[in-house]
């Protein structure tokens, strides 16, 4: 059963505030009976704003929030005083959140940095007061602009995990076990497919106090790009990974075939994913002897590979060396 505390998709109704009306006030004082127009402008309506927070890892706090409404701007006053702006409504989201229009599925914006803010819906502009409309031929305008209406839209917020390494493999390929061994993450592990129903992140320690982030993401099955299995829930998260580590167990019927099926699913979902760095890890290799390894090597696809065993903890340091070399290749 999926952990209900991990939420990576919400649909919310957002409404920005209405602008305040301009004032049509005419100045009237004891000794200035006909002082002319002095109506102020209305305040702008409140914006609906997204703000990134590195303290959040999920959209759980928005799961039961269906409507978000910013405040309306206040009307202008006398003596050309401007009305107060409506209160902005700020939505805190984890890094890697993408906002899309629910009507046409177009991307509105994305949040990738802590403290980054993006206006999702702008508030309506405040109306101009009658002081703006005074002219030589109209000394006492008795009208002002109304405030501009706010905007309303259904918005989809979608979390795409930010990780250096994404683990790609069929269900039960050993992804969760690997993550539990190389990091402090504690994903659920069992001998049946789809144990992982939500992504797990782990920080992997490397030499000289360095580290990188690894993501264990729900397994692919054939036709995942069409939404089968966990389908798009998985593929969405892998878009942001710098390196894709393909995991195929040593006891697979055809390692090359499994690798190409995984590659095909990524290509069908987003061809750009094939431009990412790729590595192949043959898991559960503790059951292999040297002769079997040599035979398997002859059948492997043309990609960098490493034999590992999470249980026996063999090949893991070599794997981390290879990952680090690829992650820092541009820096060298």
Q: How do 89-94 and 67-69 pair as beta strands?
A: unpaired
Its pTM stands at 0.63
Question: In the prediction, which pLDDT does 158 show?
Answer: 86
Q: What are phi and psi of 275, to 5 degrees?
A: -80, -10
Q: What CATH architecture does domain 165-331 belong to?
A: 3-Layer(aba) Sandwich (3.40)
Asked if 47 and 8 count as a contact pair (C-beta separation under 8 A), the reply is no
Please tell me the distance from the alpha carbon of residue 197 to that of residue 5, in angstroms, as a whole number: 12
| Residue where the block lists tokens 């906002």 | 99
Domains 1-159 and 165-331 agree in fold:
no
Please state which of the ranges 41-55, 186-200, 240-254 shows the lowest mean pLDDT: 186-200
**pLDDT higher than 70, residue 236:** no
| Residue where the block lists tokens 């036709």 | 223
Question: In the prediction, which pLDDT does 224 show?
Answer: 39
Please tell me the distance from the alpha carbon of residue 130 to that of residue 153, in angstroms, as a whole number: 32
**pLDDT higher than 60, residue 43:** yes
Listed by start position, the domains of the chain span: 1-159, 165-331
**pLDDT higher than 60, residue 205:** yes
212-234: pLDDT as tens digits: 888 777 655 444 334 443 434 55
**pLDDT higher than 70, residue 71:** yes
CATH 3.60.20.10 fits 1-159, yes or no: no
Question: In the prediction, which pLDDT does 177 show?
Answer: 82
Please tell me the distance from the alpha carbon of residue 50 to that of residue 118, in angstroms, as a whole number: 5
Q: How do 165-168 and 243-249 pair as beta strands?
A: parallel
Please tell me the distance from the alpha carbon of residue 51 to that of residue 112, in angstroms, as a whole number: 10
Q: How do 97-101 and 152-159 pair as beta strands?
A: antiparallel
Percentage above 90 pLDDT, the chain:
37
Question: In the prediction, which pLDDT does 1 show?
Answer: 31
Mean pLDDT of 289-309: 90
146-193: pLDDT as tens digits: 999 999 999 999 887 667 888 888 877 777 788 888 876 554 433 433
Biggest CA pair distance of the chain: 107
DSSP state of 114: T
pLDDT band of 114, cuts 50, 70, 90: very high
Q: Report H helices in the chain.
A: 175-182, 231-238, 255-269, 290-299, 316-327
């Amino acid at each position: 059963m999926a952990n209900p505390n991990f939420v990576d998709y919400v649909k919310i109704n957002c409404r920005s505030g209405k602008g305040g009306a301009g004032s049509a006030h005419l100045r009237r004082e004891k000794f200035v009976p006909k002082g002319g127009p002095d109506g102020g402008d209305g305040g702008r309506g409140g914006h609906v704003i997204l703000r990134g927070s590195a303290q959040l890892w999920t959209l759980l706090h928005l799961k039961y929030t269906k409507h978000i409404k910013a405040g309306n701007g206040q009307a202008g006053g006398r003596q050309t005083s401007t009305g107060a702006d409506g209160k902005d409504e700020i939505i805190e989201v984890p890094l890697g959140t993408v906002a899309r229009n629910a009507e046409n599925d177009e991307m509105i914006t994305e949040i990738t940095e802590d403290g980054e803010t993006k206006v999702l819906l702008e508030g309506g502009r405040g109306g101009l007061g009658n002081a703006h409309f005074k002219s030589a031929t109209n000394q006492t305008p008795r009208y002002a602009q109304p405030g501009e209406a706010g905007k309303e839209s259904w918005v989809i917020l979608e979390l795409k995990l930010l990780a250096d390494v994404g683990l790609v493999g069929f269900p039960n390929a050993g992804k969760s076990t690997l993550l539990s061994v190389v990091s402090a993450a504690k994903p659920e592990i069992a001998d049946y497919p789809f144990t992982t129903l939500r992504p797990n992140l782990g920080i992997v320690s490397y030499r000289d106090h360095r580290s990188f982030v690894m993501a264990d993401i729900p397994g692919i099955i054939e036709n995942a790009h069409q939404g089968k299995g966990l389908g798009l829930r998985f593929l969405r998260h892998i878009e942001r990974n710098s390196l894709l580590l393909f995991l195929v167990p040593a006891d697979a019927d055809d390692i090359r075939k499994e690798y190409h099926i995984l590659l095909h699913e990524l290509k069908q979902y987003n061809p750009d994913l094939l431009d990412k760095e790729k590595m192949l890890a043959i898991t559960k290799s503790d059951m292999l002897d040297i002769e079997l390894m040599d035979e398997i090597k002859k059948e492997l696809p043309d990609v960098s590979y490493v034999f590992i065993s999470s249980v026996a903890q063999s090949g893991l340091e070599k794997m981390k060396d290879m990952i680090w070399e690829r992650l820092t290749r541009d820096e060298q």
